Structure 1
Amino acid sequence: MLYFLIIVLLIALDLFTKYIIKSNMDINQSVPIIENIFHITYVRNYGAAFNIFEGKQTLIVMVSLIAIIIVLIYIFSKRKIQHWSLLLALSLVAGGGIGNLISRITLGYVVDFLDFRIWPVFNVADVSVCVGCGFLILYVLYFEPRIKKSDNHV
């Protein structure tokens, strides 16, 4: 239940922030928060990460949908208790993926606005997916070997 709540809250936060930006800024408008370091910049992303596959909306939606379904089935079908880092990682990936998927389906693009000037502009869903992938790497490299080792000693 906790992981379902995390997913729902991430989707809500992502869609809310995108709505605020879309409602209050013009496309390509940039508001410096810390001059030349961090700006809020409203851009539309018609592709996937860093605008790759621009113009391939159907492909992006289908691949995203399949990946999200697989992740959700894994999260909610496991009877055996999984390690918190794996479930958190997958919940973050699912929440972010669903947030961007909703935007792609309803708007035809994703609203990006977090602009650190040295990196492509991104959004809350992107952060969620990246942090989730970080936790997934942590799980695979650190927790999973220890879990397997302890299972073998029981």
Structure 2
Amino acid sequence: MLYLMGILIIVLDQITKFAAVKYLKGKSPYVVIENFFQLCYVENTGAAFGILQNKKLFFIVITIFVIITIVLFLIKYSSSVTLLFRFGLIMLLGGAIGNFIDRIRLGYVVDFFSFKLGRNYNFPVFNVADIFVVLGTILIMGLILLDRYEN
């Protein structure tokens, strides 16, 4: 059941990116909440916060390494870690694969969620896969720091 969630993350990510391309690409941003949240199409050739732009091969290699590591970890240690820890790994894996598909297929990642925080700060534009990468990472780190990851 947990692995089905990973597949659902990937499918949700790809469907929302398809919608972003279809309804947002080449158009003005769609304002959801004035001066706070909008949907806008962005082609991100870098990583989070726009760092390391145009390093496609680097991101492909790193992502393959992360995917293989998580899958091997789940195969070998799944029974010795908590369900919550596996949940975090699946979220991270689903998000990584979602963005990996974009990098391989398009050469960039489609982002579309845009938040403005206050008057002077526009949070970097992101997507569904990014949400799960961040949530999975926070959950994994929290469980490790609190020593709550082993059965």
TM-score by length of 1: 0.88
Deviation at 1:81, TM superposition (A): 3.9
Post-superposition shift, 1:79?
Answer: 5.5
d(CA) in 1 for partners of 2:50, 2:72: 28
Structure 1: gaps (5+ residues): none
Cross-structure match for 2:64: 65
User: What is the CA-CA distance between 1:73 and the residue it aligns to?
Assistant: 1.3
Larger Rg: 1
For 2:138 and 2:45, the matched residues in 1 are separated by 25
In the TM superposition, structure 1's runs of 4+ consecutive aligned residues that sit over 4 Å from their partners are: none
**Structure number with higher helix proportion:** 1
2:78·2:86 contact (CA, 8 Å) conserved in 1? no
CA RMSD between the two structures: 1.7
Q: Name the counterpart of 2:52.
A: 53
Q: Which amino acid aligns with 1:126?
A: D
1:133 to 133, 137, 146: 137
SS in 1 for 2:32: strand
Query: Displacement, 1:3?
Result: 2.1
Q: CA deviation at 1:53?
A: 1.3
Q: Distance in 2 between matches of 1:60 and 1:78?
A: 26
Partner of 1:94: 93
Work out the CA distance in 2 between the residues paired with 1:17 and 1:143.
35
Question: What is the CA–CA distance in structure 1 between the aligned matches of 2:45 and 2:96, rounded to whole Å?
Answer: 15
Tell me which residue corresponds to 1:120. 124
Corresponding position: 1:104 with 2:108: no
Label 1:31 to 1:83 Cα distance change in 2 as closer, same or farther (>3 A). Answer: same
- Which amino acid counterpart does residue 33 of structure 2 have in structure 1? I
Q: How many Å apart are 1:27 and its aligned residue?
A: 3.9
Q: Is the Cα–Cα contact under 8 Å of residues 43 and 121 in structure 1 kept in the other structure?
A: yes
Structure 1 distance, partners of 2:88, 2:78, is 18
- Are residues 24 and 93 of structure 1, via their aligned partners in 2, closer, same or farther at CA, if it must alter by over 3 Å? same
The alignment-based identity, stated in percent, is 34
Give the match's secondary structure for 2:40.
strand
Partner of 1:38: 37
CA offsets, 1:90-127, max 9 Å, x none? 00000000000000000111000011123100000000
Secondary structure, in 3 states, of the residue corresponding to 1:114?
strand
Aligned residues: 146
Deviation string for 1:17-67 (max 9, x for gaps)? 000110112247311000110000111101111221111100111111111
The residue type equivalent to 1:127 in the other structure is I
